[in-house]
Amino acid sequence: METHRLVLPSDLNQYGFLFGGRLLAWIDEASWIAASLDFPHCQFVTIGMDRVEFRQGVREGTILRICSSRTKKGNSSVTYEVNVTDGKNPSLPPIFNTHVTFVSVNDQGEKRGI
């Protein structure tokens, strides 16, 4: 799944760069949507990201391309690789990448099968 985000002034820290937490929230949301579309009968919660390392700063006006692809499916969990690049300059190195893992839960928050 692919989505895009425009970096706006409200997304920036006091130095004019994108807040890291804002990008992490967008990644979590994009990969959660991918999992929910792949498994529409499941209720997913995030259980982890394997690595958080920002490779370059992001300025206002940047269009981010966020791509999520499933890499692993277990009995009750699923993992997505997420790559973030500059949407206007796809030949540039990635801005960020990670793996996000979700677990399927029931209404009481207990783990259940996919």
Tens of pLDDT, residues 60-111: 999 999 999 999 999 999 999 999 999 999 899 999 999 999 999 999 999 9
| Cα of 75 vs its chain's centroid, Å | 22
Backbone angles phi, psi at 42, to 5 degrees: -100, 150
* pLDDT for the residue numbered 90: 87
C-alpha triplet 75, 106, 41: angle, nearest 5°: 70
CA pair distance 15, 49, nearest whole angstrom: 26
**pTM tops 0.85:** yes
| Domain ranges, ordered by start, for the chain | 2-105
For domain 2-105, give the fold.
Answer: Thiol Ester Dehydrase; Chain A (3.10.129)
